[in-house]
Amino acid sequence: MTPRLWAACALGVLVVALIAYAAVVIPWHRPPAPRADQLDALRGLPGDQVQRARAFHADLRPGSYGAMAVSILAALVLGLTPLGARLVSLAGRPFGDHWIAQAVLGGLVIVLVVEVLTLPFAAWRHTVVVRYGISTQTWGPWAVDLAKSYAVGAVIGGLALLGFFTVTRLAPRWWWAFGAAGAAALVVLLSFVLPVLVEPIFNKFTPMAQGPLRTELMSLAARDGVPVRDVLVADASRRTRAVNAYVSGFGPTRRIVVYDTMLTEATPEEVVSVTAHELGHAERGDVLTGTIIGALGAAAAVIALYLLGSLGWLLRLAGTESMGEPRTIALLLALVSLAGLVGGPAQALISRRIEARADAHALELTGDAATFEAMQRRLGSVNLSDPDPPTWEYVMFASHPSTVERMAAARAYARGER
């Protein structure tokens, strides 16, 4: 068989494996959260709180969706016209048009163009979250965090592009196979490395002081069969009033992390309830599940890009001759952006199902539906979550069940419904 036929077969196998794995590990049946209970919970929330949360999200939408539209449009213009290829060539010209310079610097230039175009929308969003009291950052610290985010993305993206185009040069006929394996390996590596190396760039973590709460959290993890190394407090208050907690890392690096804002805004029982939810992710191996799905998806994407390289009209639009040359970076970005937009609702659905299962786990682990509901009410109030968002927005983008869904799930659990 030809390499292209092998690639088509490999893509089919990966797609089938991805669908089969997701069908088995994703909790498609969610715990009951009756709509009647949701509406009753919504009526029980303070009217001014609901109104303020909805006003907050209404003010955010122009910036959020404007940035999305501009980034996709920019990616399409750069990728489906010769403009992107020209920018990559210009980036490599001071270095004798060397392919490494084109791959790394050209990729950074393409991404930088999109980031600069969407920067005004990011600034707009910052003004909104400051006005509503969610963000505690002035413009200086905000700009520093933004620069850190860009720098981390540049390092990871530059290494990925260097690896990708190294493979395409060394194995011009079979790069799809090596590239698919490399993309999958990179996803797995980042899952292990990011929590340990990247999180400290944005936050300082200190061990939680010895006391009843730390003892309870460690005991909760032990009772759940999830060994954790430590309980850490993140200095989230230097940038936000939002409250949160999470379990981070694998094996010996796993730790419970609690925002310092949560320690001041929530009761100890509510902190335990949120931690029980996060332990549910660890106990069920949700991070590993996401890593495997991401690795299979990344491998499939590389092979799909290889097969798309047979579409001569697509390459002509981009002003390139092969998917394996650095001048196609803008085209790759455009295709990935379109795939992300199309696949977004499916990713959101999977995330909501996993989060709902973690909620059920928290209720089972603590047996305290009242505190769980109180915690959801507090999360919604402090974080200004829309308690019952518009259906279209929920379907397209919501990664978690809504506040009233989670409150309804607690009430159903209290009645013995599973």
- The conformational region for residue 336 under phi > 0 = left, psi -120 to 50 = alpha, else beta, is alpha
Catalytic residue among 37, 224, 260, 278: 278
The structure tokens 């009410």 sit at 377
Say yes or no: 196 and 208 in one domain: no
Confidence of residue 193 (pLDDT cuts 50, 70, 90): confident
Secondary element (H or E) of residue 257: strand 255-259
Cα Rg of the chain, angstroms? 23
What average pLDDT score do residues 177-197 get?
90
The span from the CA of 308 to the CA of 388, in Å, is: 41
pLDDT for 29: 87
Active site (annotated) includes residue 359: yes
**Coil, helix or strand for 107?**
helix
Residue 275 and residue 370 in one domain: no
Claim to verify: residue 120 and residue 36 sit in the same structural domain: yes
Average pLDDT for residues 326-353, to the nearest whole number? 94
- Domain ends where: 284, 303, 318? 284
Place 198 in a pLDDT band, splitting at 50, 70 and 90.
confident
Verdict on whether the full-model pTM lies above 0.85: yes
Q: Residue 63's pLDDT is what?
A: 94
Same domain, 225 and 308: no
CB atoms within 10 A of CB 411: 21
Question: To 10 degrees, the CA torsion angle through 121, 123, 128, 129?
Answer: 120
Three-state DSSP class for residue 136: coil
Predicted confidence (pLDDT) at residue 344 exceeds the cutoff of 80: yes
The whole-number pLDDT of residue 252 equals 75
Q: What is the pLDDT of residue 259?
A: 96
276 lies in the same domain as 389: no
Candidates 224, 265, 270, 359; catalytic one: 359
For helices 329-366 and 212-223, the axis angle rounded to 10 degrees is 100
Decide if 405 is catalytic.
Answer: no
What is the model's pLDDT at position 294? 94
Domain limit, last residue, from 284, 308, 336 = 284
Q: For the chain, give the percent of residues with pLDDT over 70.
A: 100
Same domain, 119 and 95: yes
Rounded to whole angstroms, how far apart are CA atoms 417 and 409?
Answer: 9
Of 210, 393, 365, nearest to 282 (Cα)? 365
Domain that holds residue 248: 203-284
**How confident is residue 32, by pLDDT bands cut at 50, 70 and 90?**
very high
Considering only CA atoms, which of 21, 17, 22 is closest in space to residue 350? 22
Q: Dihedral sign, CA of 357, 359, 363, 366?
A: positive
Residue 36 burial (C-beta neighbours within 10 Å; 0-12, 13-18, 19+)? exposed
Work out the number of other CB atoms within 10 angstroms of the CB of residue 204: 12
Q: What integer is the mean pLDDT of 363-378? A: 95
146 and 57, same domain (yes or no) = yes
Does 355 appear as a known binding residue? yes
- Tens of pLDDT, residue by residue over 58-112, are 999 999 999 999 999 999 999 999 999 999 999 999 999 999 999 999 999 999 9
Alpha-carbon torsion (262, 266, 267, 273), positive or negative: negative
Supply the pLDDT for residue 310.
85
CATH number, domain at 259?
3.30.2010.10
Q: Binning pLDDT at 50, 70 and 90, where does residue 199 land?
A: confident
Per residue in 206-233, pLDDT (tens digit) is 999 999 999 999 999 999 999 999 999 9
Give the model's pLDDT for residue 418. 78
265-295 pLDDT tens trace: 999 999 999 999 999 999 999 989 999 999 9
Whether the predicted pLDDT of 1 surpasses 80: no
Q: What pLDDT score was predicted for residue 191?
A: 87
Mark whether 87 and 102 lie in a shared domain: yes
Distance of alpha carbon 274 from alpha carbon 366, whole angstroms: 10
Tokens for 221, please give them. 């993890």
269 and 315 inside one domain = no
Would you state the structure tokens that stand for residue 324, as one six-digit string? 């394996």
**Lowest mean pLDDT, pick from 128-132, 200-204, 209-213:** 200-204
Confidence category of residue 307, pLDDT binned at 50, 70, 90 = very high
Q: What percent of the chain has pLDDT over 90?
A: 90
- For residues 68 and 211, give the distance between their C-alpha atoms in angstroms, rounded to a whole number: 45
The per-residue pLDDT for 30 is 86
Task: Tell me, yes or no, whether 45 and 163 share the same domain.
Answer: yes
H/E element, 259: strand 255-259
User: Domains in the chain: how many in total?
Assistant: 2
Task: Report the length, in residues, of the chain.
Answer: 418
Whether residues 298 and 243 fall in one domain: no
* 263 plus 361 within the same structural domain: no
Q: Provide the mean pLDDT of the chain.
A: 94
Q: Kindly tell me if the per-residue pLDDT of 114 is higher than 90.
A: yes
Tokens 């460690």 correspond to what residue? 218
Boundary of a domain, candidates 284, 307, 327:
284
